Every structure is written in structure tokens, then in C-alpha cells.
Chains A and B, each alone.
Chain A
Amino acid sequence: MNQFQYVRATTAKTAIGALVKDPSATFLAGGTNLIDLMKNGVTAPQKLIDINPIPLTEIRKQSNSIYIGALATNTDVADHKLVLQNQPLLSLALNAGASAQLRNVATIGGNMMQRTRCFYFNNPDLPCNKRQPGSGCGALEGYNRMHAIFGASPQCVAVNPSDMSVALAALDATVLISGPKGDRRILFTDFHRLPGDHPEKDNNLMKGELITGIEIPDNAFGKTVHYLKVRDRSSYAFALVSVAAALNIKNNTIKEARLAMGGVAHKPWRLTEAEKALVGKPATEATFKQAAEIAMQGAKGLKYNSFKLKMAPNTIIEALKTASGIA
């Protein structure tokens, strides 16, 4: 690892101030992604601003939502009573990610900021537009088994690896941000970006901005939720495809539906059209099949990942079946 300076920030304001002053600096939270990338030489910040001393670990009930501080760990959130009771989908998604050891230190803010696991991105000797704009996309014509089937561009076909983010996209969460110009809020679904011509930008956070927390609005889904993650082994591996599903069913009619997919795009892939197709229908396999078909419109396989075109709709159907209890 390269040498760097290390400073600790105890307030959001000092952290933001330090980042604005020094463009070569980066925030350090749990470190489980950043330190990994620094070891690989993918990134080499000259200063790390350790934000762990900032008191942003709270999880609390608000009038119509749950607030979770950006520095709450993945474990603390997944095991929290409020989350288990009100947002069990988030617990399921968090526990589907990484390992117990990693979840103990990985933070909510760091999780949504984690970089792609694209093999070419993570090896500085290979071409990658995301790591080094203009160097080309190694994966586009290379080994792209893990890559996107939705929303990719010729510049980048990477996927976002976060499980948590898939659930937060489905649950209409909001990201709370503080920056040099004050505070702002972004809908979770607007936080991450598609690659377009600027794959170097994963999300819409601006220089000097700190994620302070998230809010998840209350909902009527109760336990009628499921997070289904398909991977190469049954635990401790990134998703090939994952689905977050939440349903509100009354008298066997779907009143409300939320669906998002992971492992298929540069951002958590919310399936709004499929959700619309579910509402008003009976909770049956036929309904779910139809929704899955709608969800797959516009999907495009690459040389090595076309299996996802079949795996994705099947995962949607299974997730909906399990959520609704008809499996």
C-alpha cells in the first residue's frame, strides 16, 4: 500500500472541511472496500479522513420512517429490533452480503459507496474506463460473466455489487447528505448512476459531500417480503442475480408491490413496470410470471452472461412466490 496521511474527524463539518481542502483525500469508514482497493493499487488517496469518531451510528423511529445513521454497521442494522420489525427486507439483504466478520465493520454509508467487483476494474494493469477514463473497457469484449444486462453503455458494463442497496431501492429509501453548501436529500433510486459516458462516476455524490444517513418510509408490507440471492456458492459470494420483493396482499389481491434486482445493472435496478403489472392481480404464479416477463423487457446479454437472461426472471418469480408464501 502507498503511504498516506491519516486524520480523524469527530464532526461532519470537520470531515467535510478536510475533504474540500484536500482533493486527494478520501473518507474512511469500515475500510473493508477502501483498504482492499488501496492494496490492489486501484486507488491511492494521499490522505484518509477517518469518519468513525463522528456520532452517526443511531437507528431510530421517526414519525413516518426509520432513520439509520451512515456509520451504523451492517450487523447492527440487520439485527436491530426496529429494522427487523418494520423493514425485514433490509435485514435479509444485509445478511445475504459478505460474511459475519465483514458485516461487523462495514457501514451503511460505505456499503452504498462500494465499488464494482469487475475483475478489470480491480486490476490496475488492465484497461478500464471506470478506473482510468479513456483506457477502454476490458470487460466489454472480455470475460464478462458477472456483468450487466440492463442499462450498460459501450463505455462500461459493470454491475453494482451491493445487496443492501437493492433492498433500499425497493423500499423507497432516501439518502441524507451533508456538504460544503449544506444538507440535501436524494431518493435512493436516484443516488447511483448508469455508466453512460462517465463510468468513473458511480453515483451522484459530489466532491466534499458526506452521507450522514438514510430514511426508510414506513410501509404495509410486513413480513410479505423476500430477498433472493443467486450466487456461485451458497454464502460469502457476490450475486449473479438477486431480487428484493415486497408485497401488500389483501384478500389474495396484490394492493402494492415493490421489486428491485441486483447483479444486473450499474445501479440497483428498480422494476417499476413489473410492479404496476402486479397491482390488482391475484398473488399467483401466473401473475408473477407475467411480471417477470415485463421486467425483462430491454435486457441484453453479453458474450458470457446471457445465462442471466433466464436466471433473472426465474429469480423474480421465486422471490415473489416466497414473499407471498405460495412457494
Chain B
Amino acid sequence: MEKDQCSVPDENLNENSGSSRRDFLKKSTFLSAIALTPVSLVTAAEKEMDEKLAAVFEKVPLKLEINGVKHALSVEPRVTLLDLLREQLQLTGTKKGCDHGQCGACTVHVNGKRQNSCLTLAVMHDGKKVTTIEGLANGADLHPMQEAFIKHDGFQCGYCTPGQIMSAVACIREGHANSETEIREYMSGNICRCGAYPNIVNAITEVKNGGQKV
């Protein structure tokens, strides 16, 4: 019973050591209680809150240039750059993996520098230039890094790929693609569940050695 209710990741706990597991569960029973609170109750409470707060927490005007297109927007302060791109501007090429800075799927360039769009608020970027995976190609011509990922099979499911490519382009621009070891270190902020790493490294190495402008 207890086992089924525990939604805490515990791969590091020894399944056979009953006592340690129970110790852990003792601390986490509260979690089960929360998880079981009827959804209707939670949303009702939230709704009331939202109405009261709407007047106080106003939207903030925001100017952004995204992939060369200027936008004059109005956003709630709590909206992350990632959610703005995906949910308000329908630029869904940038992916949400973990939403906590741990996977790199959401990597974009802001004023030419790569960063995780999930851990930054859109309103922090007033007046800045954002490039997403949609802005990398030149019309119908793919960016050399996109070509190289295709050529080297730098992906399987493709979910991490937009982030990998944005990061890979930055990795070369920063001058951190001089060896396989260096590429691996400076690409470590992009996790690939499919394990396409060797092919990704090959793609980056080829673009780097090809000397094209990235």
C-alpha cells in the first residue's frame, strides 16, 4: 500500500532494506495526502485567489526581437521565456524537458548567448534579441549544424535536438569545440535520453573542422 502511494523518486534507496525505506516513507506520507486532495477543491481555491490578485499583479509591457521579428507584448511577470515562446508565440521548436534547468531541451540564444529559457522570466529580457531553433536556418537553407546532425544521425527521438543544436552552435562560437573532451564538457548541459552523444560530438566536430561560419 505504502509503496504505491509514494511518488518520490527513490532509485538510490536499497529496495531490500525495509527499515530505511520505512524511515523514508514516514517522512513522505504528507506527500501522499497532498497528492490525494480532490482536484476540484484545489482549483476552486486557486480561482478565488486569481481574481483577487489580478488587479495587483499587472501584466508588464515587453519588447522582444525573436528570430529577427519584433514583438510588442504584454506578459505576466511569472511567465518564463520558454512558456512565452511555446504558448503565446506558438514557437514550439524549443522544447520543455524538465522545466528546472536540468536537461537543456529549452536552450535558446539571448543576445547571442545560450541559456535555459525555462529558468528565466520573459520580462527580464526587455529589448533583447532571442534566437530559437526556428531562427537558425536561412530560408530553405538549413544551418550547417542542422545539416551535420542529419548527416551524423545526431538524434533518435529528436526531443532534445533543438536544444542540442542551439547549444552546439554556441559551443563552436564560444571557442569550446577544440577536442572531443572539450565538446563533451561544454555540451554537458544538454541531456539526451536516447544517448545520441557520440553522433552529436561527430556532428559538432565536423562543423568545427569544416570552418564554415556558424
Contact = CB atoms under 8 A, between A and B. Distances in A.
B113 A104 contact: yes
Contact of A142 (B23, B120, B188, B189): B23
A32 B119 contact: yes
A125 B76 contact: no
B123 A235 contact: no
A126 B27 contact: yes
Contacts of A204: none
B204 to A, nearest CB: 13
A3 B78 contact: yes
A52 B123 CA distance: 12
Main secondary structure of the interface of B (DSSP, over half): mixed
Contact of A127 (B27, B101, B174, B190): B27
A4 B27 contact: no
A90 to B, nearest CB: 18
A303 interface: yes
A238 to B, nearest CB: 11
B124 interface: yes
Q: Which of B13, B53, B60, B77 lies at the interface centre, i.e. has the most chain A CB atoms within 10 A of its CB?
A: B77
A4 B77 contact: yes
B23 A36 contact: no
A6 B170 contact: no
Interface residues of A, number: 38
A72 B50 CA distance: 36
B189 A99 contact: yes
Interface string B101-130: 100100100000111100111011000000
Given A48-B77, A100-B170, A102-B116, A142 B27 contact: yes
A58 B128 CA distance: 21
Contacts of B28: 125-126
A104 B114 contact: yes
A125 B20 CA distance: 19
Nearest to A145: B12
Given A36-B101, A236-B189, A126 B114 contact: no
A125 B78 CA distance: 22
B76 A235 contact: no
Interface residues of B, number: 49
B115 A6 contact: no
Given A31-B120, A235-B188, A126 B170 contact: no
A134 to B, nearest CB: 15
Contacts of B24: 142-143
A4 B78 contact: yes
B115 A35 contact: no
Interface in A114-156: 120, 123, 125-127, 138, 141-143, 145
Contact of A101 (B53, B124, B189): B189
Contacts of A303: 20
A230 interface: no
B174 A125 contact: no
Interface of B: 8, 10, 12-13, 20, 23-24, 27-28, 30-31, 34, 49-50, 53, 56-57, 60, 76-78, 80, 99-101, 104, 107, 113-116, 119-121, 123-124, 167, 170-171, 174, 176, 184-191
Interface of A: 1-6, 28, 30-32, 35-36, 39, 48, 50, 52, 75, 98-102, 104-105, 120, 123, 125-127, 138, 141-143, 145, 234-236, 303
Given A99-B188, A104-B114, A143-B10, 17 more contacts: A2-B78, A6-B60, A6-B123, A31-B119, A32-B116, A50-B123, A99-B101, A99-B190, A100-B186, A100-B188, A101-B167, A105-B115, A105-B119, A125-B31, A126-B30, A235-B184, A303-B20
